[in-house]
Amino acid sequence: MTAPLIDPFARPISYLRVSVTDRCDFRCVYCMAENMTFLPKKELLTLEELDRISTTFIRLGVEKLRITGGEPLVRKGIMTYFQAMQRHLDSGALKELTLTTNGSQLRRFARDLADCGVRRINVSLDTLDDKKFADITRWGRLAQVLDGIEAAQDAGMRVKINAVALKGFNEDELFTLQDWCATRGMDLTFIEVMPMGDLGNEDRLDQYWSLKDLRARLAERFTLTDLAERTGGPARYVRLEETGQKIGFITPMTHNFCESCNRVRLTCTGELYMCLGQEDMADLRAPLRADPDNTLLEDAIRAAILRKPKGHDFDYSRQAVDGQVSRHMSHTGG
């Protein structure tokens, strides 16, 4: 019963992404529809249930938890969950507790997160232009996010910026973002836009900016050295020799990064997705609520891991958005 989680392709599962809410205070155009219909709160796992599931995964070998949403810090009482997970950091069973956030609530929560053992966080930020930020987030305020990032750094947490590469939107800010991060001691990761969700008028093919092109533009100005470093996620990293800065590339479209995938994703309703780019999922809420001893839950987790696919099917080749999945990015937590 203590055997580690190994998928059919001999990959140990050591990384769990936990979406604690589908709600967000932004409506980023590549993540959500403007008029989202959110889940009834009664369908969400309670904070205690999130603790039970996370603890079961940790007992089965998960060493990294990344908390996501929606925006995780808008979930009422969320610090109770972080405080509960701190015991696994203290015991050594959990190696890292971290989160991905839009930054809007960091001024409020940064110190508490640091006190719970969160040492680094990812902040999603696609532009440093006030108007463009308002356009792409629909509801967001850039100044609030920048203030939150400052609060996180003041609390001692390392901040990495995640920027979605969008053709015609932030191509002209490539070096602006790079320099801004460098002067503040922050690493930067670019992400190719992925075909997820029915977002109305947003055209994924028109938005798509290949990171091969983005990397080539960086190489015109800097000497790029490939790094062997892995942080448990899909990013591949280079170092800019002139600045020492680390730049990451998440390239589901131009380079399938699935061969070393060690992660699964839990939604706020207890659905376990074994792959971000596939529709297959396992319901963990029913066995969780049916058995207080977690035996059925563990059985369901093990059965799900045995269905983990080799890789996703995202593909923009032949000028078509192939491999699209119907759920919004906010549903699975990225």
What lies within 8 Å, CB to CB, of 181 at 6+ separation is: 161, 187, 188, 245
d(C-alpha 181, C-alpha 199), whole Å: 30
- Residue 307 known to bind ligand: no
Q: Is residue 100 part of an annotated ligand binding site? A: yes
204 annotated among ligand-binding-site residues: no
Determine if residue 159 is labeled as part of a ligand binding site: no
Ligand-binding site membership of 263 (annotated): yes
How far does Cα 169 stand from its chain's mean position?
21
For residue 199, give both structure tokens. 């977002």
Calpha distance 245→227 (Å, rounded): 12
Confirm or deny that 181 is annotated as ligand binding: no
- Annotated binding residue at 302? no
In whole angstroms, what is the distance from residue 123 CA to residue 140 CA? Answer: 14
Residue 116 is labelled as binding a ligand: no
- Is 265 annotated as belonging to a binding site? yes
Using an 8 Å Cβ cutoff, are 249 and 211 in contact?
Answer: yes
Q: What are phi and psi of 29, to 5 degrees?
A: -65, -25
- What's the burial of 86, exposed, middle or buried (CB within 10 Å: 0-12/13-18/19+)? middle
Question: Among candidates 131, 113, 129, which has minimal Cα distance to 121?
Answer: 113
Residue ranges of the binding site for GTP: 17, 66, 100, 160, 263-265
Residue ranges of the binding site: 17, 24, 28, 30-31, 66, 70, 100, 124, 160, 194, 258, 261, 263-265, 275
Residue ranges of the binding site for [4Fe-4S] cluster: 24, 28, 31, 258, 261, 275
Residue ranges of the binding site for S-adenosyl-L-methionine: 30, 70, 124, 194
